[in-house]
Amino acid sequence: MKSLAPVAIAIAVLALLQVLTASSEYFVYLSLLVGVNVVLAVSLNVINGMTGQFSIGHAGFMAVGAFASALLSQVLNQYRLGFLPEPVEHQLFFFISLVVGGAAAGMCGFIVGLPSLRLRGDYLAIVTLGFGEIILVVVRNTPTFGGALGLSGTPQYTSFFSVWFAVFIVVLFARRLLASPHGRNLVAIREDEVAAEAMGVDTTGYKVRAFVVSSFFAGVAGGLFAHFQSIITPGDSFSFVKSMEIVVMIVAGGLGSTTGAVVAAVVLTLLPEAMRAVFIQIGGGNVALAQSIDQLRKPIFGVLLVVMMLTRPQGIFGTHEAWDLFKRKKGARA
């Protein structure tokens, strides 16, 4: 099947990279952070960019996926299937946990998506914001999830390969979606909801489905995140601030552009790290200084966003995609 060829290539390339980078722990750690953010940004872009709805609670879905999959993983880890080699068994459990975490987030997406039947714009944004906060409150008050202290002891399964394979899938998905009737209908809703409805598009159904699928991927991102952090707490990693970071990424990249979401997620994740490295250099290895630099991440995001909106309101890529350039030249279709 021709359509599966990219998957085979991606697996080969990622496996090779996994081996090549294995020795550099810091690089791998950064790449995991970056990859998770890319999955989050590309998936949020399905709601905010393609469908034109406004969600600012994406970290909430990430949290659902993180805690659900971490818990399941810990439970599964107590069992042995026996007939499989142990590493294979771990990867199988990992995969199951990710999918279940994603499904749990998707279910929440369905529930949060329902109000989008009636609400639009600011009102919908507030519902998604509220959802994100509710999730954190629920986690803090549920001993099973470790309460306010968080959940530790999750098996550290996440690898370079798994994160970037998820990135590959979500990007492939976003790209192929836009070249399908389903994706075109989402964009039609963004462009003109009344006209879309008049042309037979069940706008409410599509909006809810956009929420479900987007949340699924956010949940998977959360699951990946949970499996390389020694502890996940219902705090900053899943808070409103995190949600806003993702929103900034897709706005900066260009709402509706998957390429933009990827590029912005990479740059904006690495920027604070790069700055930290630079300041450590300047401060002569002063770790306290480096830590305070990390605090600058939020103001920097703010300033970046303001500058961006003043100079290039449509974002880096507008609604364009990198692969459109190829398409023009070859006259082929994605």
Partner 1 sequence: MSDALLHAKKVSIRFGGLKALSEFDLEIRKGDLKGLIGPNGAGKTTAFNVLTGVYLPTEGEVFVCGEKVNGRRPHQINRLGLARTFQNIRLFKELTVLDNVRIAVLAERTPLFDRTRVESLKRGPYPGRTVGSVLDALDNYRDWWRALLRTPGFLREEEGIEKRAKELLEVMGLSHRVDELARNLPYGEQRRLEIARALGTRPKVLLLDEPAAGMNTREKADLMVLIRELRSRFELGILVIEHDMKLVMGICEHLTVLDHGETIARGEPAAVRTDPKVVEAYLGEAPAHV
Footprint of partner 1 on this chain (CB under 8 A)? 3-4, 172-173, 176-177, 179-185, 187-188, 191-192, 194-205, 209, 213, 319
**H or E, element range at 232:** strand 231-232
For partner 1, give the closer residue by CB, 182 or 298.
182
Q: Which residue in this structure is represented by tokens 């999730």? A: 135
Q: What token pair was written down for 122?
A: 């600011």
Residues 94 and 77: their CA atoms lie apart, in Å, by 9
- Measured from the CB atom, the residue of 113 and 132 that comes closer to partner 1 is 113
Q: Are 245 and 128 in contact (CB under 8 A)?
A: no
Nearer to partner 1, 139 or 171 (CB): 171
Closest to partner 1 by CB, 1 vs 288, is: 1
151: helix, strand or coil: strand
- Residue placing its CB nearer to partner 1 in the complex, 46 or 139: 46
| Residue 200 C-beta: closest distance to partner 1, Å | 4
Can you state the percent helix, strand and coil of the chain, rounding each to 5?
75, 0, 20
Q: Give the CA count within 13 Å in the CB-facing half-sphere of 291.
A: 3
Q: Which is nearer to partner 1, 133 or 197 (CB)?
A: 197
Question: What's the distance, Cα to Cα, between the start and end of the chain in Å?
Answer: 16
Closest approach of partner 1 to the CB of residue 47, in Å: 14
Label the pairing between strands 231-232 and 151-152: antiparallel
In the complex, least distance from residue 217 CB atom to partner 1, rounded to whole angstroms: 11
Nearest-approach distance from CB 265 to partner 1, in angstroms: 21
> Comparing C-alpha atoms, which of 36, 41, 31, 39 is closest to residue 253?
41
Measured distance CA(119)–CA(207) in Å, rounded:
11
Nearest distance from C-beta of residue 193 to partner 1, angstroms: 10
> SS3 for 152?
strand
Least separation in angstroms between CB 199 and partner 1: 4
